[in-house]
Structure formats: C-alpha cells, structure tokens
Structure 1
Amino acid sequence: MSGFLGSGKSTLLSHLIEYEKQQGRRIGILMNELGEVSIDSSFVPENTPVQEMLNGCICCSIQGELSSKLYQLLENYELDAIYIEATGAAHPMDVLDGCTHLSIIAGVKVKAIITVVDAKLWHNRSEMKPRLNKLIEEQAKYADVVVLNKIDTVVEDDFEQTSVSIREFNPGGLLLPVTNAAIDPLLVLSTKHNQSIFTEHTESHVDRHLHLRTFTQQLFRPLDRIVFEKWLKTLPGRVFRGKGFVQLNEAPGVFMFQYAYGEPMFTRCSLNKSYQPVIVLIGDELDHERIREQLLELQYIVH
C-alpha cells in the first residue's frame, strides 16, 4: 500500500483489517515509518502479527529489511494475507522488488498494489518540488488500485480534472473516488496484480533526492490545544505530515494526533494501552533546533 504522506493509508488499512477480521481471515501487517517511533501501528488490533520498520524508507535505507520482515511473518504465523503499508516517500516498485526476493518468492503472491491519492494534493501537485511531484505521479501510475481519497476537499470541476489526470497516468488501474478512505473492500480484494507493469522508474531516495526530513520529539507535559494548533500553522519549513500521541490541558488521557496539509485532528486513545507522548513531523527544510525550542515553550503555556 503506497501513497504520499497524509493521503490516508492508515485509515484505509484499518478499514481493510476490520473487513478481513469479519471474514475470519488471518492477516499480518508490515508497517514502515520514517520516524524513530511507531505511531501508525496503534491502528492495528491486538493479536494481529505486526512487523515494523522504523527510521527509514523501504525503497532506500532499509530496503534489505523488507524481505527479512516478510520472511519472519511467513515463518512464524499461518496467514491468509499480509498487508504492507509503506511510508509516504516509498516508490511502489521498490516495495514490489522486496516482495519478490528469492528467499520468499515461493511463499508470496502479490495480490495488488494499492495507492492512496489525496485529491486536493494531486490537483495542486505542481506547486511541489519536481522530485516530490514525480513521486506522487508514479505512486499512482504503478498502482493496480488507486484510491482517490478526500474528494470532499475539492470542488466538482477540480475533481473531474483530477480523475482525468490520474487516468492519463494509469489508464488500466481501478480508480475508486472516496472520502475517509471508505472503499468497498471486495473491489480491492478482487483485483489482480498486473505483472506486466513497466518497472523502470525515477530514483527517489528520501534524503538525497526528495530532501524529506523527520523530526521526533518526546513530550513530558500536556499541551494547550488552541495554542498548539496555531503553532502548527507557523512551523518553519514545509510539513507534509505530522503525527504522534499528545496530552491536552482541556481533557484527561492521551490523544492520537494526526496532521496533514494544514488540518490537525485529535482522537482519544484507548485507556487499555500505554502511550508515550511524542510528536513526529515529516517535511522539507525543517529547522530542528527551532522546532524543538518552540515545542519546549509550548509545554509551559497554560490557558
């Protein structure tokens, strides 16, 4: 499963996991995140086998680990399916390469490459750096299924242009326009992978080519939500994705924090699990020291 940062991959994955569980199927999850800590794996239900690859991208710094993690899932569990959620900076063809390693090829059949596309981001992608623009286009181009997500964020004319544009890049894939990644799982699970897909692609190393950087900071005090949201709009550099676990002054407990394209969201976490408050930001031209200092100051603001 591919798609740029904040497109809605984890939301889609949670829908698919729920459906698979309802069907009584045994599934495993392989999850890759750019940050030093795992946030997205909190979506995964207990008793679901999970392998995590942190602090790197499948297609570059930890590519060799992908085959090893898949091998561990295959060896240790009897599974009907394995879902791979790649980081937003990964190219789907590089993920596919890892799934066809000689050590696991006999036990793996690639069902489909699913790419989640943020409708508004796609429509405005020309405003991004050329390398990022190219990655977003190729994530859609090499997919068997394109989930065109967040269509409620664009007007009708822009939606039509976006759909036509994606079709130009990927005329043969299944295109599913949705909101909140609410697809019909049967449409995805009945798709067959196109093995003849053209496999040459633009190299997209996270650091050398895309210039994406990850910032991670542990938190030790609750935040004022309003002040925190205002601060997010003034962040130095461009933040494509934010996530983490935070405590808020206004309510007890821990909240999952999600941030994409200027929109923050807070969801109360389960009381049955322990969460370490932490913030992860992914973007370019991030001033780490300045962000760290500002986050420290925010933790001492009480309204």
Structure 2
Amino acid sequence: MKTKVDIISGFLGVGKTMLIKKLIKDALGSEKIVIIENEFGEIGIDGNSFLENNVQVKEMTSGCICCSFKNNFKKALLEVIDVYNPDRIIIEPTGVAKLSDILKILENESIKDKITVNMILTVINPEKHGLYLNTFGNFYKNQIIYAKTLIFSRAQNFSKENLERFALSIKELNSKANLITSPWNHIEGDLILRMCENISEDLLFSNPRLSKSSKINSISTSKPIKASDIFDSLSIKTSKFFSEKYLEELFYGFNKENHCGFIIRAKGIVQVSENKWIQFDYVPGEFNIIDSTYFDTGKIVIIGENLNKNKLSELLAL
C-alpha cells in the first residue's frame, strides 16, 4: 500500500506549522504520521512544537530540499517510509522552496511507486500578499501556481470585502485551485482536510467575477534561481536571557532602521528567566510570542536579504 504524502507549502511566516498542528489535532490523530520539516537556517525551531502531538519529525536544516538538499530529501523520504511505515507523510518545506521543484522530486522513479501525492496546499497571508508578490515574485508565485488548494491565514483580521479583493488577486495566478477563505477558528481541521482531499463547496470562495477564463501565469527565467542566491540566513545559539519587550522593540526596529539588512522572517525559542521560556515569530510588521515548554539552549533563526550577521549576532548572541 502506498504512503500518502501531503505538501503544506507557503512563504516564510504564513502559518504552515500552525495549520499542520490544527490538522493533526482535529483530523489526523488516529493516523501514524511523520513530518519532514525543512529549515533554511542551520537550526530547527518548529520541530519541537510537534512533540506534544506524538508524531515523528525528521528535520532537515541548512538548505532547501528543492535545490541544495535535493538528494538528501529523496533519501530522507525513502528512509521514513522504510523505518516508520507511516500512513501519511507531511512535508513542510522551507518558506523559500519552489513547489514545482518538490513535485518534480516526488516524480522520481525511486519514489513515485511508494507514495501517493495527496494534498498540495499553499498557505497565504493576505496582508503580506502584495509585499511578497512584488519583492519575491518567482518564489512566491510558484507556491501559488502549483497548489491544488490555497488557504488564507489570519482571515479573521480582514473584512469580507478585503478578502474578496485578495481572492481576486490570488485567482489571477491560479484559477483552478480550491480557495479557503474561512478563518481557521471557525472551521474544524477535518473540514479543511476534506476540502483538500475532495471538494467541500461550503468552504470555497465563490464570486461571479472569478471566471473559468482566468489563466494560470507561468514563470520563466533565463537561469534557474536558487533560494541561496537571494536569501541569507543566520542561526544563533544563545544562553542569554531576553525580555519580551526587548525582543519586540528590537525586531520591529530592524527594518525601520535598516542597519541589519532586510529581515523577512525570524523565529526562536529563548529564555526569559530561570524557569520561563518563550517562542517568538516575526515577519515584517508582525511579532508574536507564546510560552514554550522547551528547556535547552536558546536558538534563533533569521532569514532575509543582505543580513548584517555580525551586528545581529552582537545583539542576540551571548
């Protein structure tokens, strides 16, 4: 029997890990699942967040599984199937991975006879859509164009009119994909799963202006572009204590002052006091903190363009 493989794609910081946790909690708890977690930086952050869900996690760090880690990814996939014999493998690529390249790898002769490609889902943050489309077009568009299902994160923050406007823009890139615009706290994970694996009309966005004549744009470049050609990453291990206020002010200030490069994504698990740890997430204009049960060495991953690594290390490392 072939193993189901789900790909949950999306640009940096859109909420891929949060969606995977929701699907496992609401809909996939009875299945034997392995998650292949790909981090562009040298340190894995999100793998720890799945421990409470009792699933196996295979972390692949320091590169992108669609380019520099292509062969390692093939080996990891086959190893997971042989060692764990899971019902389902969920692939969470790094946010700068090209979805088309991942799908191409899964067509490899050594792999395709052992798997069934199931969900091909891309998470989109409507608020950042314009920024990412204009700044990182090739990578960002690719994740939308090759998805079978598109789902908005943070939909609860927008009016129906704004969501309709975002949906029109998304459908110009991919008119064939199912589009879920309902806030995640309004729908159960099993409904999202049914939407991705079949069709559930009540979750679809429908608008007469989105006609079948809408075309899927193709991406062509004279030379293949790898994530490492554009994006820098910095991984830091630290035993430093951080106040929540310090971190928030620091990251909000980075792109305003522009003295450390353009930071697209940062996340970490750090210590606030002797007995308190937090996990933080940053994308431009948005900083979130939650409590963490992690107890080890603090770790931070930063991804961006033209990073001033010495300055960042000075501010965050001990």
Which category describes the TM-score, using the shorter chain as reference length? 0.7 to 0.9
Counterpart of 2:43 in structure 1 is 37
Aligned length: 283
Matches within 5 A, 1:24-173: 24-45=30-51, 47-128=54-135, 132-173=136-177
Is the Cα–Cα contact under 8 Å of residues 114 and 146 in structure 1 kept in the other structure? Answer: yes
For 1:138 and 1:101, the matched residues in 2 are separated by 20
**1:199 & 1:165 partners in 2: Cα distance?**
15
C-alpha distance 186-74 of structure 1, shift in aligned 2 (>3 A):
same
CA offset at residue 156 of structure 1? 4.4
User: How far 1:123 moved relative to its partner?
Assistant: 3.3
SS at match of 1:52: strand
1:201 & 1:149 partners in 2: Cα distance?
Answer: 28
Q: Name the SS of the counterpart of 2:11 in structure 1.
A: coil
Match of 2:198 in 1: 190
Partner deviation per Cα, 1:268-298 (whole Å, 9 max, x = no partner):
122xx533201111111210011111225xx
> CA distance change for structure 1 residues 200 and 215 in 2, over 3 Å: closer, same or farther?
same
C-alpha contact (below 8 Å) 1:150/1:178 kept by paired residues: no
Whole-Å separation in 2 of the counterparts to 1:126 and 1:14: 27
Asked if the contact 2:133–2:140 (Cα under 8 Å) also holds between the matched residues in 1, the reply is no
Q: Provide the secondary structure at the position in 1 that maps to 2:176.
A: coil
Distance 1:75 1:213, change over 3 A: same
Change (3 A) 1:73 1:200: farther
Q: Deviations over 1:147-181 (max 9, x none)?
A: 12122444544322210111121111110114458
Distance 2:121 2:110 in 1: 24
Q: CA deviation at 1:114?
A: 0.7
Do 1:123 and 1:162's aligned partners in 2 also have CA atoms closer than 8 Å? Answer: no
Q: Secondary structure at the match of 1:242?
A: strand
SS at match of 1:110: strand
Match of 1:204? Answer: 225
Contact 1:2 1:115 (C-alpha < 8 Å) held by counterparts:
yes
- After superposition, give the CA deviation of every residue in 1:242-286 in whole Å (9 maximum; x if it has no partner): 11111114x83211121122322222122xx53320111111121
Give the drift of 1:54. 0.5
Provide closer, same or farther for how the CA distance between residues 4 and 28 of structure 1 changes in structure 2, counting only shifts above 3 A: same
Q: CA deviation at 1:201?
A: 5.5
Residue 188 of structure 1 deviates from its aligned partner by 2.0
Query: How much does 1:41 deviate?
Result: 0.9
Q: Secondary structure at the match of 2:280?
A: strand
Contact 1:119/1:153, CA 8 A, preserved across alignment? no
Q: CA deviation at 1:50?
A: 2.1
1:241 corresponds to which of 265, 275, 278: 265
SS in 2 for 1:275: coil
User: d(CA) in 1 for partners of 2:32 and 2:244?
Assistant: 39
Question: What corresponds to 2:300 in structure 1?
Answer: 279
CA distance in 1, matches of 2:237, 2:231: 20
Contact 1:3 1:116 in 2 (8 A): yes
Q: How far, CA to CA, are the matches of 2:180 and 2:28 in structure 1?
A: 22
- Give the CA RMSD over aligned residues: 2.3
Letter in 2 for 1:173: A
Alpha-carbon distance change, 157 to 20 in structure 1, aligned in 2, over 3 angstroms = closer
Aligned to 1:194: none
| TM-superposition CA deviations, 1:78-130 (whole Å, max 9, x none) | 221111000000011111122222212211110121111110111344542xx
Q: Describe the SS at the equivalent of 2:116.
A: coil
Q: Distance in 2 between matches of 1:55 and 1:2?
A: 18
Supply the distance in 2 between the matched residues of 1:78 and 1:269 (Cα, whole angstroms).
31
Please report the TM-score for the alignment, with normalisation by the length of structure 2: 0.82
Alpha-carbon distance between aligned partners in 2 of 1:233 and 1:8, rounded to the nearest angstrom: 19
Q: CA offsets, 1:192-233, max 9 Å, x none?
A: xxxxx999755330122xx11111111112112212211112
Task: Please name the residue that 2:206 is paired with.
Answer: none
Aligned residues with identical type, % of pairs: 27
CA distance in structure 1 between the partners assigned to 2:37 and 2:234 by the alignment = 19
Contact 2:45–2:299 (8 Å) recurs in 1? no
The letter for the 2-side match of 1:165 is S
Where 1:233 maps in the other structure, the secondary structure is helix
| Structure 1 length-normalised TM | 0.85
